[in-house]
């Protein structure tokens, strides 16, 4: 078989990147622009892509293409319906980054709550060395114990976040936009009530017609002034200009964000001009990228190709 990986740079340096060579010749491109996709997929049996879009215009002109492996969970970069019509299988990867995303969720929470950016500078810039006490209480921070976390989306990642929160002694409530995910141990609230009562709101829902702009200025106004909003899911769930406005107006204490509606982040994005910078912690869509998660992801891609070779499915 002829196999092409269109954007291997997204996987970084992992030990099993070339494992799929077992099934045929592997051609690797670090990145691919939309203009390059057609010429790079043509003649190949299998295409692997993480972020690169494979549209119907490409599939129309690639009769040899039999399998598209999405090196991610979301398949919105593939024209799924057209692939089905053409008999091209599309396989994604699930549950490879659950622990990784949950970990970064709490990294953002703790970074904001404990004022880590401020206190790291406080020590490194010499202010602590000049202090007449053995500590600093310039910026108050809060413990998680006893606080309430409202989880939007109680799938695998949401449940893992809940489990970690239990370890901190937090109270857990949740909202399910689909109404399908239920957990007998946690109270299920409607969105408005969850926003009003939570000390921390953490988003773990997929982006769809029900969750697009789920959190706007109207919803942010419902939250406690002391509350944090964390989004390690999808950027389009939060109306980004509204969140930037809410932070500068101090409607909420702060926010931690790892996913954006347009990626990479445009230079004129409202998050980049927020005045209360210490109240907004941003990371570059990296929650899924622990070494372990990326290695597991590539193993899932391998299994998808192996299953296709052995069964045609």
β partners of residue 202: 151, 230
Q: Helix, strand, or coil here: 171? A: strand
Nearest alpha carbon to residue 300 among 71, 74, 75, 76: 71
β partners of residue 171: 148
Tell me how crowded residue 262 is: count the other CB atoms within 10 A of its CB. 10
Active site residues: 234, 263, 285
Nearest alpha carbon to residue 254 among 100, 135, 116: 116
- The whole-angstrom separation of Cα 78 and Cα 60 is 13
Tell me how crowded residue 114 is: count the other CB atoms within 10 A of its CB. 15
Tell me how crowded residue 283 is: count the other CB atoms within 10 A of its CB. 16
């Amino acid at each position: 078989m002829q196999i092409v990986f269109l954007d291997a740079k997204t996987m970084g340096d992992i030990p099993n990147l070339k494992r799929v060579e077992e099934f045929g010749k592997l051609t690797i491109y670090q990145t691919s622009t939309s203009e390059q996709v057609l010429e790079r997929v043509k003649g190949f049996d299998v295409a692997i892509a993480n972020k690169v879009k494979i549209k119907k215009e490409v599939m129309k002109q690639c009769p040899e293409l039999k399998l598209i492996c999405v090196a991610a969970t979301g398949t919105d970069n593939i024209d799924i319906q057209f692939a089905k019509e053409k008999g091209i299988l599309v396989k994604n990867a699930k549950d490879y980054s659950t622990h990784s995303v949950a970990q970064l969720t709490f990294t953002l929470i703790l970074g904001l709550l404990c004022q880590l950016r401020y206190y790291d500078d406080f020590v490194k810039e010499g202010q602590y060395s000049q202090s007449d006490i053995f500590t600093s209480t310039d910026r108050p921070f809060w413990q998680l114990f006893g606080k309430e976390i409202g989880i939007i989306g109680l799938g695998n990642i949401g449940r893992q976040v809940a489990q970690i929160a239990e370890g901190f002694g937090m109270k857990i409530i949740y909202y399910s936009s689909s109404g399908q995910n239920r957990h007998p141990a946690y109270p299920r609230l409607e969105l408005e009530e969850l926003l009003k009562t939570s000390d921390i709101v953490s988003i773990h829902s997929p982006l769809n017609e029900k969750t697009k702009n789920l959190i706007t200025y109207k919803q942010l106004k419902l939250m406690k002034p002391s509350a944090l909003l964390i989004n390690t899911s999808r950027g389009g769930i939060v109306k980004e200009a509204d969140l930037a406005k809410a932070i500068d107006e101090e409607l909420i204490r702060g926010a931690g964000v790892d996913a954006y509606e347009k990626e990479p982040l445009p230079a004129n994005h409202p998050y980049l001009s927020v005045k209360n910078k210490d109240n907004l912690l941003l990371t570059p869509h990296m929650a899924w990228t622990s070494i372990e998660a990326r290695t597991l992801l590539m193993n899932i891609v391998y299994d998808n190709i192996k299953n296709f070779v052995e069964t045609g499915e």
